[in-house]
Amino acid sequence: MNLEIAELTHRRRNPLKYIPVVTSLVAVIGLVVTVMQSYCARTDELRRNQENQVLAAKAQSLNEAQRLESQIRTDKEELLRFISDDKFTTARVMFLLDDLNGLFNQLSNRADVFGSKTNADLERQHIADLLQTITWQVSFHEDRHIDFDVQALNRWPLYRAFWIENGPSHHLLLSSKYYTAISSTYASERDCIEGLGFDEQRRIFISSSANKQCETGLFPTLVGAFKYRLEMMKKAGKEDFVRNELQLFASLTNHCKTATWLEKQLLGSSNLTKATAPNP
């Protein structure tokens, strides 16, 4: 019995009985490895898909940016036609300037999304320079020439900023274009313009002269655009500039009622000197 007890106490372990446990453990490890491999494969595939999508989006964005830049060039070339094409309307100018603003906004949005650099700011300045060139080229003896200037001031901030910041250039433009056209029109329609006043209720110019051709002629258009430019300068704090230009306008038009009306509108008084104002 002692021998049997000793044998039972020191029984040798049978390794075969661990085979099922080892087999199960190997199976579990294999399953875990398979799952990890599958997960890594799916992660890699997802990453590659995302990279491909980003590359495709960038390629599409580049193509769209090139299309936008091409349309900008086309619009600029069409704007140049304004100089030589007498049928080029103010409505077309408005459309092109609005379209250019929209194109630049789209181009800027694409640059922001992908962190890319564009020359949009430089191109905007080039268009402002182009608008100046066109303004200097036209004669200001047609309504559409004056309307072009007003629409450019309204729709292109860099064009407007140039005239605000450069008083001598602004005065030179007024002298070369506006005052030349005003003097010419005044000489041919003097009686009508001398009696020309502004009806505040109806918002139109009315002449007391028997000959009323100036009421719907070039002169009211010139006065409206001239007033807009001076309002722009007044808002920028350039009141001395405004006063000097009003004095020149008054001297060119023999201090007519329109000159008095302009002074009241812009300066709130009508005390401009009757003498010819000196050049700024």
According to the model, what pLDDT value does residue 182 have? 96
Task: Give the domain-ending residue among 143, 162, 181.
Answer: 162
Domain assignment present for 234: yes
Task: Give yes or no: residues 197 and 146 share one domain.
Answer: no
| Greatest C-alpha distance within the chain | 151
Which residues does 197 contact at the CB level (< 8 Å), separation at least 6? 205, 206, 207, 208, 257, 258, 261
Cβ(188)–Cβ(154) under 8 Å? no
The phi, psi pair for 196, rounded to 5°, reads: -85, 125
Nearest to 107 by CA among 64, 77, 75: 64
According to the model, what pLDDT value does residue 245 have? 97
What is the tens place of the pLDDT at every residue in 233-250?
A: 999 999 999 999 999 999
Task: Give yes or no: residues 175 and 279 share one domain.
Answer: yes
Whole-structure pTM value? 0.76
26 or 242, which is more confident?
Answer: 242
Residue 227: which domain range? 166-280
Cβ(249)–Cβ(226) under 8 Å? yes
Task: Give yes or no: residues 30 and 110 share one domain.
Answer: yes
Task: Give yes or no: residues 123 and 205 share one domain.
Answer: no
Nearest to 96 by CA among 45, 62, 130: 130
Task: Give yes or no: residues 182 and 157 share one domain.
Answer: no
Domain assignment present for 47: yes
Nearest to 131 by CA among 104, 102, 100: 100
Task: Give yes or no: residues 258 and 181 share one domain.
Answer: yes
Question: Is the pLDDT score of 41 beyond 90?
Answer: no
Exposed, middle or buried: residue 214 (CB in 10 Å: 0-12, 13-18, 19+)?
A: buried
Task: Give yes or no: residues 114 and 228 share one domain.
Answer: no
What is the tens place of the pLDDT at every residue in 189-231?
A: 999 999 999 998 999 999 999 889 999 899 999 999 999 999 9
Task: Give yes or no: residues 146 and 191 share one domain.
Answer: no
Domain assignment present for 151: yes
Task: Give yes or no: residues 137 and 231 share one domain.
Answer: no
Task: Give yes or no: residues 50 and 128 share one domain.
Answer: yes
User: Rounded mean pLDDT of the chain?
Assistant: 86
Q: How many domains does the chain have?
A: 2
Task: Give the domain-ending residue among 135, 162, 189.
Answer: 162
Selection from 16-25, 66-75, 242-251, 261-270 with the highest mean pLDDT: 242-251
Question: Is the pLDDT score of 58 beyond 80?
Answer: no
